[in-house]
Each structure stands twice: as C-alpha cells, then as structure tokens.
Amino acid sequence: MNMSNNELLSAVFAELDDSFEDMKDWRRYMHKHPELSFEEVHTAKYIEEKLVSFGLEVKTQIGGNGLIGILKGAEKGKTIALRADFDALPIEDEKDVPYKSTKPGVMHACGHDGHTSALLGTARTLSKYREKIKGTVLFVFQPAEEKPPGGAKFMIEEGILDGVDYVFGAHLASEIPLGKVAVGEGYQMAAVDKFEITIKGHGGHGARPHQSIDSLVIGSSVVDSLQKIVSRSVDPLKSAVVTIGVFQAGSAFNIIPDTAKIEGTVRTFDGDVRDQVENEMNSIVRGITSAFHANYEIDYLRGYPALYNHKAETDTVREVLSDVFSKQDVVELEPTMGAEDFSYFLQEKPGTYFKVGSQNDNENTHYPHHHPRFDFDERALVNISKSFVKIVSHYLF
C-alpha cells in the first residue's frame, strides 16, 4: 500500500513518540558516564553499538573519536548530513538526580548527551523507512566540540562531507521554552580567538623605580588601550568583543616585577573585523612596549570561525518546522557571541544550525549551559528528532 508523505510522516512521528523512553535512557546513560573532549572512547563505542544494531553502515575513528552512520535509501538522490556532538565538560555535577555524573569533575553541562540521543533516535527510526528514502542520510557523531581546535575540523579533513549536499545541526536551549524552536539566517555565533601577551621588563626594588622597567605599569597601559579597539577602531555597525580574563604580575608588595602576563578572548562575526582586531592588538602592544623600552611576546590563537547560517536552507528549515511546531512556535534565533565548531561544517556545505527549546516550569531546567546544575526537559529529545526527520523528508521523501 502506497502512503502519502503526510501519512508517512505521521507514522514516523508516532514512532519517535514511542521512542521517547529509549532516547531518555540513552541520554541518562551518557550523562552518568561523561567523557572530556578528545577522550570520548567509551562514548564512541556506545554510539557505534547502537548504530550497528540499527542496521546502518558505520565508520569509526574519524578525526579522533568521531564516527558516522550511513543510511542509503532505496533510490538515489541528495545526501543530507545531520550532526550531534558528544563530549562533556570539566565541571562538577551538582544535580541531585539518579543520572548524576559518576565521574568526579566531569559532566554533560551543555546538552551534548541529549543531542546524541536525539540523533540516535532519528537514525533508528529512519532506518526502518529506508525504502521510502530517495537519497542518503549521514548521521555525524562529532567529538570534542568544547575544546579548540575542535572535532569538526578533523572530521571534515578526513572527507566526511565529500558528496554531501546539505548539513544541519541542532542544539538544546535552556533559555527557550519547550515546544519552541529558534531559526535564523546569517551570522549566529561568533569566531572565538584566544590571546596571551607577555610583557618583559626589568624588575627591581619598589623604592627605585627609575632603575627598572615596570612590566606591571606597562601591562596596565596595554589592558587599557586594548579596550579601545572596539570603541574606537571597529565600525560601530559591526560586532566585536575584546575581553581580558587574566592579568598576572608580581609576587611581593615592594618589588617591581620582571614580567606581566595578559590573557583574553576576541569574538567577532565579520572576517575583516577579525583581522582588524588582531592587527590593532599587535600594533598597540608593539607601540606601548617600545615607548617604555620593554619587550613582548604575543601568542594569538584563532579558534572556531563564525557560524553562518545559509539563507536558502534556513528559510527551508523555518518553513518545514512550522508544520511541526506551528508558525508561532518557530521563533527568531538570537545571535550570540558564543562559539560553536559546527561553523566548520557550514563553511564547507550549505545548511543551517537551529536551537530547540528545553525549558519547562521547573527551575531545574532554567540553569544556563555550562552551569554545574544544568539540566533540561527530556521531551525536547523528541522535538530534535522530529525536526531532523522533517528536514530529511523535505529533501529525500
């Protein structure tokens, strides 16, 4: 018997609803057994076993601990990649729940266990309908999202996107109510860079400053001037952040220190602004240290690029998800200066990255991501899966 697309989607969605308890169990298992970035050996094996049991072709150890499940439909067509991350954070789990982390100082504080469980649920359900699929679905399970240079870069370098037409990712959002999804085109997350500046002066007695080159005073001038990059050098219609997080100098009240150390982060959207901030920083440090006859070193590390959602694919996702959640529940995604290495995927292929609400009336679901009490309404797992299925159906059913 032939099924219409609407009937097919209804059947798939019903199966996803029935899969909720399994997805919840998978999520809670991973929550109890978290692993840090680049150390996710056990988690990767757990995912592999699930994918094999679904009857999928599986490739492992891609770019480290990454792996993919491949679902080939009955007919040829486009290839859609869906991505979930599965690393945890170096944070102590402070929740009082049965699925609390069993590993001291490590927890899933950003929802990656949920992303993985939802994608597993998507993979299992779609694998039962492969005869209806006109094309290929690539289920990408990515390690090390939380730690630069990130797992996405290494997986892409090993060619996982070869032949892929579109790529999509979803993230749980504790600031968005359950039942809503946030979609937005253009720059949505910032490029994230880290810098370390070492000022090398000449220490001495605090009573004889004229015999010294005071690295602390020089460093203070550097910190003050760096704050003017955004306010006085960057186009005010473009976004940038320069934040100093570390300033270390000296160890005694009456000694002028030899060296001062400054560390911070730069966040930008526009690539030209990113270059501009780095160049201005070098110019400022070089000029100030030269004026005070000091030396310096700058270690500037470029992290993840800015995440850019492509217009056509974002418009498509907004439209198709309106059929799942209603137009009122598909809200506009608010850009943030946070970072996400899914940006590497979107540099290579058209697609979009959206957020799925996970907050309910219980205050336990209101904690921000990376908080030691972070948790979410697990019904959001089904919402991620339904979103992915609806996107796949648009291109491949």
Q: Find the helix packing angle between 112-127 and 5-18, rounded to 10°.
A: 130
On whether the CB atoms of residues 127 and 56 are closer than 8 A, the answer is: yes
- The segment(s) of the chain belonging to CATH 3.30.70.360 are 191-302
Classify 191-302 by CATH class.
alpha beta
Binding residues for Mn(2+): 110, 112, 146, 171, 370
Q: What is the pLDDT of residue 4?
A: 81
- pLDDT in the model for residue 5: 81
pLDDT at residue 1, as a whole number: 52
Instruction: Report the pLDDT value the prediction gives residue 7, as an integer from 0 to 100.
Output: 87
Q: For 80-110, what is each residue's pLDDT tens digit?
A: 999 999 999 999 999 999 999 999 999 999 9
Catalytic status, residue 299: no
State phi, psi for 33 to the nearest 5 degrees: -130, 65
| 270 catalytic residue (yes or no) | no
CATH superfamily of 5-189+306-396: Zn peptidases (3.40.630.10)
DSSP helix/strand/coil, 8: helix
Does this model's pTM top 0.85? My answer is yes
Choosing from 145, 278, 340, 341, the catalytic residue is 145
Catalytic residue chosen out of the listed positions 40, 48, 87, 313: 87
Structure tokens at 190: 């910032």
To the nearest 10°, report the CA torsion of 113, 117, 120, 126: -140
From CA 87, how far away is CA 38, in angstroms rounded? 8
pLDDT at 6 (0 to 100): 84
CATH 3.40.630.10 in the chain, residue ranges: 5-189+306-396
Regions of the chain short of the pLDDT cut 50? none
